[in-house]
Chains A and B, each alone.
Chain A
Amino acid sequence: MERMSARAVVEAAGLFKTYGTTRAVDDVSFQVYDGEIFGLIGPNGAGKTTTMECIEGLRSPDAGRIAVLGLDPFRDAVALQTRIGVQLQEAQLQKRIRVREAVSLWSSLYPRPVDGFRLLEQLGIGGKEDAWFMTLSGGQKQRLFIALALINDPEVVFLDELTTGLDPQARRAIWELVRGIRERGKTVLLTTHLMEEAERLCDRVAIIDHGRIVDIDAPAGLVRRHCPERTVVIESADDGAVDALRRVPGVDSAVRDGSNVVLRARSVDVMTGVIEALAEHRIAVTDFQTFVPTLEDVFLELTGHSVRQ
């Protein structure tokens, strides 16, 4: 996805951060454009959070240049904090703070806050104003943190491992909320170790492993570039199907598996040939499925190890 005309709202160039002998962040550079959801993806400990916290001004990089909305996260800390929204990984609030009090406190810290209580309602925790923070469920806490991150009507929102520890249902609901943030015209920078989350949510992702960025692109673009192979499963009773399909240029193999013919191909270009061959030989097809590799496969391909480790 080319966004040459778009404005870069986050620019990181040559970031380094070392803890002891570990290079947590190793020459990381990327840009996040206005209005997109950009994901830093990789396994736990890859350096995603450290990178993000450098950009938020919570941590200072050993080297490198950062600009967020043209501001320096350290020199212009207060100006920056008024214009960004932050949700931190595994953050807590005071146990006995009421939701209402947290919202009021946060509202009082910004020059032009939005209506925090409407925000709670929109985020689905409208009835929880009087609840103590410690009595909220994981999903409710995350929703509150999203509300606090949005209360100043920020231009850029940072979300760090937003759905970790949530059940699948809550996770899906939160994804919907994040898409809603983009629809309000805001830019989102998020980190996740869940490839499905990145695939469903992000316009572009940067794959990070051992503190280094391995590649940056739209999820579909990364898959096309690094894992172009496709598996096509065609359900057909036609005995001639295997032979006809095997001859299609680009098809590596075609084998019958019960009522299915399974094709393997090394590129997406094979699809037109397959459809033409089916039409030409008048092969009756009862089902047609293609299996496309996912970001998980891309990650494995690029790093040689699974993201789950």
Chain B
Amino acid sequence: MTTRFRGLLSLTWLETKVFLREPLGVIGSVFVPVFLFVIIGRVFGDELTGADEGQRGLVGVDLAVFAALLIAISAVLSLITIISIYREGGILKRLRATPLRPLTILSAHVLVKLMFTAVTLALMLLLGRRYLPVDVPIPWVAFTAATVISTVSILSMGFVLASVVPTARFAQPVGTIVLYPMVGISGLFVPLDQMAVPIQLLARLTPVSYAVSLMRGAWHGDSWLAHWGDLAGLAAVFAVCTLLSARWFRWE
């Protein structure tokens, strides 16, 4: 048990360092979302915050949610890419030929991604503070928790994609094609109930729609109970995707 836990810690720490050494990965998943948030905030800052009325600006909220989603999705894309590169290079297989359990090997990658999601989010909120509603307390902890929970669910979908992409070359494009349209129909830009019914149904199948609703709620300080539906949706996606990955995941 202790050896197992030590294995998870060693591998997670190592993967963190390895990730930090790939400049493109760090730029994509840390700097791009933060800069997007700060720059959009700077350009449209005053209109977005709704600060004059002392209320929580609706657009401002969605900007935070959008940036958080970007962070989550780039974490997932990076996971898909790393897993497929590791599979292609035989790294996953080599790790399996150790006392590490298969689940531990994959968990280390999930932990790294969640860590970077949380750190990037914190960085974004910190740097973007001026463009967020003033005088209004932002529920940082709840918002971060909502983002991390959403990320876990989207990551599980990432594992399904990582299971089915044929080679590492396809990982990034396939991930992009599947994940970004989900943001488009998530209800972030157009409210869900204003979309055509089939698209609404499709949106309900994606984790991103629940993630948007949950993160908005967290920002507004809603109680978690009020969003049990979103949590259930994310959990359902997680359960289905984990089952599919367990069946389809290839180690080589």
Complex Cα gap A105–B21 (Å): 17
Contact between B14 and A86, CB atoms less than 8 A apart: no
* CB neighbours of B15 from chain A (8 A): 94
Chain B: interface residue total (CB-CB under 8 A): 24
* CB neighbours of B96 from chain A (8 A): 58
Q: Does B173 contact A (CB under 8 A)?
A: no
Q: Does B28 contact A (CB under 8 A)?
A: no
The interface centre, meaning the residue of B7, B21, B98 with most chain A CB atoms within 10 A of its CB, is B98
Select A58's contact among B7, B22, B91, B93, beta carbons within 8 Å: B93
Contact between B93 and A96, CB atoms less than 8 A apart: no
* CB neighbours of B251 from chain A (8 A): 58
Contact between B99 and A78, CB atoms less than 8 A apart: yes
* CB neighbours of B11 from chain A (8 A): 105
A113 shortest CB reach to chain B, Å: 11
Interface of B is mostly: helix
Chain A: interface residue total (CB-CB under 8 A): 23
8 closest Cβ pairs, A-B complex: A92-B89, A86-B97, A96-B21, A91-B90, A108-B10, A91-B94, A81-B99, A94-B18
* CB neighbours of A105 from chain B (8 A): 10-11, 14
Residues of A within 8 A of B (CB): 56-58, 78, 81-82, 86, 88, 90-94, 96-97, 101, 104-106, 108-111
* CB neighbours of A109 from chain B (8 A): 3, 6-7, 10, 98-100
Q: Does B250 contact A (CB under 8 A)?
A: no
Select B14's contact among A58, A88, A91, A101, beta carbons within 8 Å: A101
* CB neighbours of A57 from chain B (8 A): 97
B168 shortest CB reach to chain A, Å: 12
Contact between A106 and B98, CB atoms less than 8 A apart: yes
* Chain B residue, CB-CB nearest to A151: B98
Select A81's contact among B21, B91, B93, B98, beta carbons within 8 Å: B98
Contact with A along B23-37 (1 / 0, CB 8 A): 000000000000000
Select A56's contact among B3, B14, B21, B97, beta carbons within 8 Å: B97
Whether A111 touches B89, Cβ cut-off 8 Å, given contacts A82-B99, A86-B97, is no
